[in-house]
């Protein structure tokens, strides 16, 4: 069954179960393939999974030298005099990944990739956007907008951003053979990465996004940046179209704040108002969609489980279990002949 929801007790249990799925898929795939491509996300949700993954790598359970990773997103406009300083800023997603996963590995991945947003100078970007209004359009029905740069833009700098930063990242993923499994979290409004609610799905592989004012204000209020002037106003992100092109997407959600978005995504048809709802499209196209959520995040759908089963979604409730369930008991295995989970 290509769409599965696993309910766990809490954050730690969610992390353990999700890590078992990732580790099991990596091992099975590398038994028949020479390499593995792993999609990664930032935020609190995957941090426990990453610790389990690092432990497995360091124990020799999987070979990291055959793994290439691609991250979802990165800020534009981080404080710093140059790209290197911006990439190493404490709030950059590159630095986050070093702290939470890459720096924990005694043997490193073959290659890691984070969107090359720190190469973009935010002041120059805004200047070029203001000077060449005909070179781009804003797309999106909510507060976060995609800045879509025309391929024939008159601004050399804007053409460079599109070709070298956005399209090149998507192209590198394609040349790698695509992502085998992508770990994603979920925002409170159902967004994935910086593909905000309301940004169209089609034609959105890698996006330049203008962050909404609330996102910027919250980053300052939460202490991530000293002032609004230091807070990034833009980001580069994989679009939902590219995320849900992975062979498997593993979505993590914990906490009551995520419950409404998770329930909406499960019961609705794919729609850009809730980007994670495109998991249905992945499952229908033969891919594998797995939600691993804690009981708080499952609050919006647990009492409607029969309706989900009628939609072809399998639900496995491990939330009352006294001990975590080994991955072998989750009945969600990769079929070596098809390259898919079954």
| Beta-ladder partners of 290 | 4, 250
Q: What is the 3-state secondary structure (H, E, C) of 117-167?
A: HHHCCHHHHHHHHHHCHHHEEEECCCCCEEEEECCCCCCHHHHHHHHHHHH
- The CATH number for 300's domain is 3.40.50.1360
pLDDT band at 112 (very low <50, low <70, confident <90, very high): very high
Q: Which domain holds residue 239?
A: 3-341
Q: Decide: 277 and 190 in contact? Cβ < 8 Å.
A: yes
Determine the pLDDT at residue 336.
Answer: 36
Record the pTM: 0.92
Q: Per-residue pLDDT tens for 29-81? A: 999 999 999 999 999 999 999 999 999 999 999 999 999 999 999 999 999 99
What is the phi/psi pair of residue 63, to 5°? -100, 105
Task: State pLDDT tens for residues 117-139.
Answer: 999 999 999 999 999 999 999 99
Tally of domains within the chain? 1
């Amino acid at each position: 069954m290509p769409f599965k929801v696993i309910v766990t007790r809490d954050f730690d249990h969610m992390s353990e179960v999700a890590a078992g799925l990732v580790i099991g898929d990596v091992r099975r795939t590398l038994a028949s393939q020479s390499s593995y491509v792993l999609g990664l996300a930032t935020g609190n949700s995957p941090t426990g999974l990453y610790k389990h993954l690092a432990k497995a790598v360091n124990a020799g359970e999987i070979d990291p030298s055959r793994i290439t990773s691609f991250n979802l997103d990165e800020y534009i406009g981080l404080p710093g005099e140059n790209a290197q300083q911006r990439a190493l800023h404490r709030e950059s997603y590159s630095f986050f990944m070093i702290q939470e996963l890459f720096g924990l590995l005694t043997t490193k991945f073959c290659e890691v990739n984070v969107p090359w947003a720190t190469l973009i100078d935010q002041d120059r970007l805004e200047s070029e956007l203001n000077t060449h209004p005909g070179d781009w359009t804003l797309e999106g029905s909510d507060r976060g907008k995609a800045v879509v740069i025309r391929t024939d833009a008159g601004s050399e700098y804007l053409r460079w951003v599109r070709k070298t930063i956005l399209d090149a990242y998507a192209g590198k993923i394609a040349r790698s053979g695509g992502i085998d499994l992508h770990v994603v979290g979920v925002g409170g409004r159902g967004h994935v990465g910086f593909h905000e609610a309301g940004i169209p799905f089609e034609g959105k592989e890698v996006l330049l996004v203008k962050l909404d004012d609330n996102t910027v204000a919250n980053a300052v209020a939460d202490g991530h940046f000293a002032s609004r002037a230091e807070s990034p106003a833009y980001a580069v992100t994989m679009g939902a179209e590219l995320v849900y092109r992975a062979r498997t997407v593993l979505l993590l959600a914990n906490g009551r704040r995520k419950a409404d978005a998770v329930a909406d995504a499960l019961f609705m048809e794919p729609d850009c108002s809730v980007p994670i709802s495109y998991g249905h499209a992945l499952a229908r196209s033969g891919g594998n969609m797995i939600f691993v959520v804690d009981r708080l995040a499952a609050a919006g759908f647990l009492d409607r489980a029969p309706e989900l089963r009628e939609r072809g979604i399998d639900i496995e409730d491990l939330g009352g279990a006294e001990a975590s369930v080994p991955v072998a008991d989750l009945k969600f295995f990769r079929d070596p002949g098809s390259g898919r989970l079954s």
